[in-house]
Amino acid sequence: MERVLVTGGAGFIGTNLIPRLLADDRYTVTVLDNLTNVSGDLEPSGEVEIVEGDIRDINAVDRAVKDADIVIHLAAHTRVMDSIEDPELNFNINVRGTFNILESMRRQGVTRIVNASTGGAILGDATPPVHEEMAAKPASPYGASKLAAEGYCSAYAQSYGHGAVSLRFSNLYGPHSRNKGSVVAQFIKDITTRGEVIVYGDGSQTRDFLYVTDLVDGIYKAVSTQVSGVYQLGYGEPTSVTDLIGIARSIADVNFDVKFEKYRSGEIKHTYCEIAKAKNAFGYAPRIAINEGFKKTWDWFVRDGEQ
């Protein structure tokens, strides 16, 4: 069996990913998490070991990396606007934390990392669809920090023989996202608690919305096929915020208002990604369109999310 270390494994993605890993009897799982943003039930067992700690703490990182075969690095400071408010915190978690992971791997002979990255925030307001060969022009400290993390993964791969893949996620949504501030989760929380959603801009801005089970499938395939390099993981189609509101109105069983405010500095206006490289390399094939995925996410929030 191979031991997989999942940093940030108690969060939104990890809560959805770990059951998929455990369903494959080739893997056991260790989680390194500071437990400040827990998204679901996570209990230690014969298949899951939990190391409570922060990726900025090299001693905690060393304890978690010990005896791992693969690292899936999800732990991060992920909110664009928060990174603008406090860029130093964002740097310390995303850059220093990733460096700590890579250094611990180097010292302990762990040679495989799957790094969670981002597309739009790294590439900036580029003409979509964005792809892996485009020049990076980060529009926020968050995007810059993720680009730096990608750079360190690439450098360690070439300098020390690590197998490193960075997966650039698009705008994620799905079950266990109650603690997320991204568009779909925030809309659902605001509809159910306030009866109003806030749109920053005129609603024409577009995003590539990726349902979390499709993301999990992509991560799992990247782990299983030993690919390396940078890959975009999205649904591959744009959806405007106005269209998303229309989908919400068709699914929600409550009325809600829409309040428009000015665009926020550092946010991308239009983005969606080209996913051919991931399809060709490891069979990545997202299946859940935004209408179906929004319905699944809504149902989780109004039923399971209250438990």
Per residue of the chain (307 residues), what is the pLDDT tens digit?
Answer: 899 999 999 999 999 999 999 999 999 999 999 999 898 877 666 679 999 999 999 999 999 999 999 999 999 999 999 999 999 999 999 999 999 999 999 999 999 999 999 998 999 989 999 999 999 999 899 999 999 999 999 999 999 999 999 999 999 999 999 999 899 999 999 999 999 999 999 999 999 999 999 999 999 999 999 899 999 999 999 999 999 999 999 999 899 999 999 999 888 899 999 999 999 999 999 999 999 999 999 999 998 754 4
Q: Token digits for 244?
A: 């998303």
225, part of any domain:
yes
Q: Which of 195, 207, 209, 171 is nearest to 258 (CA)?
A: 195
123, part of any domain:
yes
300, part of any domain:
yes
**Exposed e or buried b for every residue in 159-175, given b needs 16+ CB within 10 A?**
eeebebbbbbbbbbbbb
- Dist CA 247 CA 188 (whole Å): 11
pLDDT value, residue 266: 82
Same domain, 42 and 132: yes
176, part of any domain:
no
- Residue showing tokens 């890579």: 102
283, part of any domain:
no
Residue 208: C-alpha distances to residues 152, 183, 239 (Å):
26, 11, 6
Same domain, 70 and 152: yes
Same domain, 79 and 98: yes
Q: Which of 82, 60, 84 is nearest to 7 (CA)?
A: 60
- Residue showing tokens 């079950």: 175
Same domain, 293 and 228: no
151, part of any domain:
yes
With residue 287 as reference, give the H or E element that holds it.
Answer: none
Predicted TM-score of the model (pTM): 0.95
With residue 272 as reference, give the H or E element that holds it.
Answer: none
129: cis peptide before it, omega within 30°?
yes
- Dist CA 272 CA 119 (whole Å): 9
- Dist CA 74 CA 33 (whole Å): 10
178, part of any domain:
no
Same domain, 61 and 80: yes
- Residue showing tokens 């893997």: 27
Task: Residue 162: give the domain boundaries.
Answer: 2-170+210-234
Same domain, 136 and 193: no
130, part of any domain:
yes
**Neighbouring C-alpha atoms within 13 Å toward the C-beta of 76:** 29
Residue 239: C-alpha distances to residues 7, 41, 170 (Å):
30, 32, 12
Same domain, 117 and 252: no
Same domain, 32 and 146: yes
CATH of the domain at 140: 3.40.50.720
| 142 in catalytic set | yes
Query: CA triplet 84, 87, 89: central angle to 5 degrees?
Result: 130
Same domain, 242 and 294: yes
Find the catalytic residue in 27, 142, 173, 235. Answer: 142
Q: Give the distance, in angstroms, between the CA of residue 3 and the centroid of all CA atoms in the same chain.
A: 21
pLDDT value, residue 307: 41
The count of other CB atoms within 10 Å of the CB of residue 99 is 18
Same domain, 59 and 90: yes
Same domain, 72 and 194: no
Strand partners, 72: 6, 114
In total, how many domains does the chain have? 2
Same domain, 58 and 136: yes
pLDDT value, residue 40: 80
- Please enumerate in sequence order all residues whose Cβ is within 8 A of that of 112, keeping only pairs 6 or more positions apart, or say none: 69, 70, 71, 162, 163, 164, 226
